[in-house]
Amino acid sequence: MSIYDKLNEPQREAVFHTDGPLLILAGAGSGKTRVLTHRIAYLIEERGVNPWNILAITFTNKAAGEMRQRVDSLVGFGSESIWVSTFHSMCVRILRRFIDRLGYDNRFTIYDTDDQKTLMREVCRKVDIDTKRIRERAILAEISSAKNELVTPEEYELNAGGDLSKQKLAKAYREYEAQLKSNNALDFDDLLVKTVQLFQTQPDVLENYQERFRYIMVDEYQDTNTVQFQLVRLLAGKYRNLCVVGDDDQSIYKFRGANIRNILDFEKEFPDAYVVKLEQNYRSTGNILEAANSVIRNNTGRKDKTLWTANGEGDKIHLRQFDTAYDEADFIAEDIQRQVRDGASYNDNAVLYRTNAQSRLFEEKFVAMNIPYKIVGGINFYARREIKDLLAYLKTIDNGRDDLAVRRIINVPKRGIGLTTVNRIQESADERGISFYEALMAPDLIPGIGRSASKLDSFAALIEYFKGQAAGESITDLLKEVIEKTGYVQELEADDKEDAEARIQNIDELLNKAAAYEESCADRNEEASLAGFLEEVALVADIDSLDESQDYVVLMTLHSAKGLEFPHVYLAGMEDGLFPSYMTIMADDGEELEEERRLCYVGITRAEQELTLSCARKRMVRGETQYNKMSRFIKEIPMELIETGHRKIEKDTEIPVQNTYAQAKQAFRAVPFSALQKGSQLRAEKGGSLPYQVGDRVRHVKFGEGTVQDIREGGRDYEVTVDFDNAGVRKMFAAFARLVKVEP
């Protein structure tokens, strides 16, 4: 039996169509990775394509690793010549060879988010931007958006026109780019932008890679941005054997620059494109898929397709509405414990939510109930202080032009080199047009350096010693020597013994990572290099830390969950104002709402066997109690697919909910807003009559002025509904709101 006989008909169609542009519309769980790997095998075995001429691009290291394993098992001999890579890894590999054509040194450093913020702080100081008024993060986001659209600092400045705010941002962008180049560093966006610039300005380099990659496959094409589109278009420009795989219904990264038009307009860009739809889902039950189909059909900007499965209908969708977010977290924690008692594993369950802030209540409940859990998207291992310190040493050893790395470690551990000395070194370097490290190598030429000269000599000698050792030592041994010679661990222990233990464990884990990198290089018959190691750790994403063999409940945002699947998924916080967000609803932006709906579709299709949707009538947000309606996305699911069970209103009191969805909605509306959870933080006492009435103008200390729409007499306090001019409609207790009547 052929390996292709196990594919369904559309999958075989996609595998066997090898020449020219091909668009594979692959619904959630439809086996797209299987199609891509079989297509690679078919190209090599049946079409005689050299493995060297095949490129497969995806978005995460996890996806690339999975694809690499499957390709190796299918293809066998010669598979190591196939490039299976993320966009960023591919670009780094190209730039390591040719970035000198753009005026950079090939041993460039890759800056992470923290490095970028540190650099931007310095940039803002130089161009006189008040970071209390414009945050570094906002400036970096604007620059990132410009780079994603291939807008240079010069073009950005021209586009700013007479807009003073844009002109300031243009200055910051220009200086930021100058500082990056001076430091011989690239940020993540640069990895793509510089590769496109390389191809656009160096035709021989472009032709080299066009000849190399005659067959190109791009996974998750709906997540590509403008610069990624241009990169792929240039690479495929000669042979046009471009296969893109994606699902427009799962395009959820607009905030990162993803352009859904890339997949929707693929046939406009390539009029001769062949299109295959993969609609059979192998992951989920029929009811889950029908719920997903029902929600996503409400979007207009999409390619028509309908997921189906041979897995059977399965359980109905569980819908639970609670009085408070505390009740919601209680229920989910108890439900997971019940499943585990019945024989399930903790890692069968995932709790997905719209915002990171929602994780707190679940963490508290899980800790109290001894439920093991992991938050995906928390503090990245490589962002921890001790790890960044040691990586800064390695960066300095590898690339002395990286001023940020040198400045980070010049007094770590403490050497008596203070901020005044550091500033004098930087001023001297700026005046002479050299790097920070080059300046400190000759302290006698730095005005006013005084007795610090000997300390700088000692530090420079240590770095030069490490550089000499790096040429002959393994990365693991070099890292051990850095830790030993600097006395880094001893200082940790001296500063805080309790804190030191956890930090030392992290350092040990970094050593493990270095050893694992060297082993993987040996397995691939590649030379392990310090630059290669730094490159690998720089490209690690949060999702890559998810260990599916460990038994814990996963907590993560819906954005982090794409590409994953779990037997039981809880979608928490399904309320208008939270999901979709209040800003989306108030903006009345159809495109934004469609993106939120796609995010809901992604969440639903993560579930294999069971899906629980939960919401709360009131939730504390930024210190204010908000009353929310059930999410409109829930209302888009047919009532016959849903069961409602029971829900808690008062502590220790269960109220049955009707079996039909319409009756459920009626029951939810019937519960008075005055019902408060026993033990709630709300302790307002109702006073006498209020100094304002319905229709009066009032002022709130935070929300400003508004008009009173409704006043209801609750059990403990008056509930006042106000339509604020800028903050929209808010419901609040009078005692807490402290509204002041505005006299006409």
Classify residue 357 by its DSSP letter: G
Return the HEC string of 429-480.
HHHHCCCHHHHHCCHHHCCCCCCHHHHHHHHHHHHHHHHHHHCCCCHHHHHH
Q: Are 120 and 93 in contact (CB under 8 A)?
A: no
3-state DSSP call for residue 742? coil
Least confident piece of the model among 99-108, 448-457, 569-578, 654-663? 654-663
Q: Are 692 and 684 in contact (CB under 8 A)?
A: no
3-state DSSP call for residue 194? helix
Query: What is the reported pLDDT for 655?
Result: 33
Least confident piece of the model among 432-436, 523-527, 537-541, 622-626? 622-626
Highest mean pLDDT among 136-140, 383-387, 397-401 belongs to: 136-140
**Model confidence over 32-75: pLDDT tens digits?**
999 999 999 999 989 999 999 999 998 888 888 888 888 888 88
Q: How confident is the model at residue 715 (pLDDT cuts 50, 70, 90)?
A: low
Query: What is the reported pLDDT for 682?
Result: 32
**Model confidence over 258-267: pLDDT tens digits?**
999 999 999 9
Q: Which amino acid is at 91?
A: C
Q: Is the pLDDT of residue 678 over 60?
A: no
Tokens of 633: 């996305």
Q: Are 597 and 633 in contact (CB under 8 A)?
A: yes
Mean pLDDT of 649-656: 34
Least confident piece of the model among 68-77, 453-462, 679-688? 679-688
**Which pTM does this prediction carry?**
0.74
One-character DSSP codes across 488-523: HHHHHHHH-HHHHHHHHHHHHHHHHHHHHHHHHHHH
Tokens of 433: 């047009």
Q: Are 408 and 392 in contact (CB under 8 A)?
A: yes
Q: Is the pLDDT of residue 679 over 70?
A: no
Pairing of strands 54-58, 83-86: parallel
One-character DSSP codes across 623-638: TEEEE-PBPTTGGGS-
Q: How confident is the model at residue 274 (pLDDT cuts 50, 70, 90)?
A: very high
Length of the chain: 744
Query: Is 32 designated active site?
Result: yes
Q: Is the pLDDT of residue 596 over 80?
A: yes
Mean pLDDT of 491-503: 75
Q: Is the pLDDT of residue 584 over 70?
A: yes
Q: Are 246 and 26 in contact (CB under 8 A)?
A: yes
Highest mean pLDDT among 298-312, 445-459, 643-657 belongs to: 298-312
Q: Which amino acid is at 260?
A: I
User: How far, in Å, CA of 200 to CA of 240, rounded?
Assistant: 18
3-state DSSP call for residue 309? coil
Higher pLDDT, 384 or 461: 461
**Model confidence over 137-168: pLDDT tens digits?**
889 999 999 999 999 999 999 998 888 889 99
Tokens of 250: 């799962």
Query: Is 303 designated active site?
Result: no
Residues forming a β-bridge with 514: none
Least confident piece of the model among 57-61, 684-688, 737-741? 684-688
Classify residue 588 by its DSSP letter: T
Q: Is the pLDDT of residue 496 over 80?
A: no
Query: What is the reported pLDDT for 498?
Result: 62
User: How far, in Å, CA of 110 to CA of 537, rounded?
Assistant: 10
Catalytic residue among 12, 32, 632, 731: 32
Query: What is the reported pLDDT for 659?
Result: 33
Tokens of 305: 């397709």
One-character DSSP codes across 599-657: HHHHHHTTEEEEEEEEEEEEEEETTEEEE-PBPTTGGGS-GGGEE--EEESSTT-EEE-
Higher pLDDT, 381 or 90: 90
Torsion of CA 708, 711, 714, 716, to 10 degrees: 50
Residues sharing a CB contact under 8 Å with residue 695, sequence separation 6 or more, in sequence order: 707, 708
Query: What is the reported pLDDT for 142?
Result: 93
Mean pLDDT of 396-411: 89
Query: What is the reported pLDDT for 663?
Result: 41
Query: Is 200 designated active site?
Result: no
Q: Is the pLDDT of residue 628 over 90?
A: no
Query: What is the reported pLDDT for 726?
Result: 74
Mean pLDDT of the chain: 86
- Run of H or E including 276: strand 274-278
Catalytic residue among 37, 226, 250, 396: 250
User: How far, in Å, CA of 448 to CA of 433, rounded?
Assistant: 19
Catalytic residue among 175, 187, 189, 220: 220
Q: Is the pLDDT of residue 364 over 60?
A: yes
Query: First CA to last CA across the chain, in angstroms?
Result: 85
Percentage of the chain with pLDDT > 90? 54
SS3 content of the chain, % helix, strand, coil (to 5): 50, 15, 30
Query: What is the reported pLDDT for 78?
Result: 76
Backbone region of residue 15 per phi and psi (left: phi > 0; alpha: psi in -120 to 50; beta: other values): alpha
**Model confidence over 277-322: pLDDT tens digits?**
999 999 999 999 999 999 999 999 999 999 999 999 999 999 999 9
User: How far, in Å, CA of 275 to CA of 291, rounded?
Assistant: 26
One-character DSSP codes across 679-731: T-S------SS-S--TT-EEEETTTEEEEEEEEEE-SSSEEEEEEETTTEEEE
Q: How confident is the model at residue 553 (pLDDT cuts 50, 70, 90)?
A: very high
Q: How confident is the model at residue 666 (pLDDT cuts 50, 70, 90)?
A: very low
**Model confidence over 476-486: pLDDT tens digits?**
999 999 999 99
Query: Is 220 designated active site?
Result: yes
**Model confidence over 308-317: pLDDT tens digits?**
999 999 999 9
Q: How confident is the model at residue 541 (pLDDT cuts 50, 70, 90)?
A: low
Q: Is the pLDDT of residue 405 over 50?
A: yes
Query: Is 285 designated active site?
Result: no
Query: Is 526 designated active site?
Result: no
Catalytic residue among 320, 388, 606, 618: 606
